[in-house]
């Protein structure tokens, strides 16, 4: 269950909608946040690297 990267997102929405009734699964939530930060940072790094060639390709 917790190996699925969407667990934190789904539990976060469940917690936001249902309020205090649903427990937030912190390890899954923190794993999802860390994964989002990693993907964002790698996307920014890749874009900065390819930015000069980007206009020529399009």
The pair of structure tokens assigned to 8 is 């934190």
**Which two structure tokens, joined as six digits, stand for 45?**
């790094």
Kindly indicate the confidence band of residue 58, based on its pLDDT and cuts at 50, 70 and 90. Answer: low
Q: pLDDT tens across 17-33, in order?
A: 887 676 777 887 788 78
Read off the pTM.
0.60
Stronger pLDDT, 52 or 36, i.e. the higher one? 36
The pLDDT assigned to 2 comes to 63
DSSP state of 49: H
Token reading at 29: 């939530």
Helix axes 7-18, 26-57, angle to 10 degrees: 120
Q: How far apart are CA 4 and CA 28, in angstroms?
A: 8
Cα(51)–Cα(25) distance, integer angstroms: 38
């Amino acid at each position: 269950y917790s190996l699925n990267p969407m667990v934190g997102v789904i539990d976060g929405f469940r917690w936001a909608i249902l309020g205090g009734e649903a427990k937030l699964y912190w390890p899954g939530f923190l794993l999802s946040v860390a994964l989002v930060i990693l993907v964002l940072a790698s996307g920014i790094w890749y874009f900065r690297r390819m930015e000069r060639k980007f206009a020529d390709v399009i």
